[in-house]
Amino acid sequence: ESFSIPCQLEGATNYIKKLQFNLEQLKQKKECILRKDSANLSVPRGIDLPSIDVRVTGSALEVVLISGENYQFKLSEIIRMLHEEGAEVVSASFSVLDDAFFHTVHCK
């Protein structure tokens, strides 16, 4: 079934707005989690807290989390949170470089 161009544009616009809304919710949740974690954990001096980077490109969402060995994420927990927010996980990867742990999750 073929939709008119205005209908397709409206659908794409609505989808982008939904992704932007979900992204804002994820950012707020991230800030809340980081505030709770920094208040509840005694992290040794010199150890950086995790870095979380969220990028939206078209209909794709990429989440990159970088942490040290003293503060690790569980990849399954990250995927669960994204599913709860309505994101469809397309791929996920985990790698280690020196003392840094990299989690990359691609969603749509």
Task: Tell me the average pLDDT across 21-35.
Answer: 82
Q: What is the DSSP string of 43-96?
A: PPTTPPPPEEEEEEETTEEEEEEEEETTS---HHHHHHHHHHTT--EEEEEEEE
Does the pLDDT value for residue 24 go beyond 70? yes
Which tens digit of pLDDT belongs to each residue from 60-74?
A: 899 888 888 777 677
Total number of domains constituting the chain: 1
**pLDDT at res. 108:** 87
Structural domain harbouring 45: 5-107
Percent of the chain with pLDDT over 90: 12
**pLDDT at res. 98:** 77
pTM for the full model?
0.52
**CATH code at 70?**
3.30.200
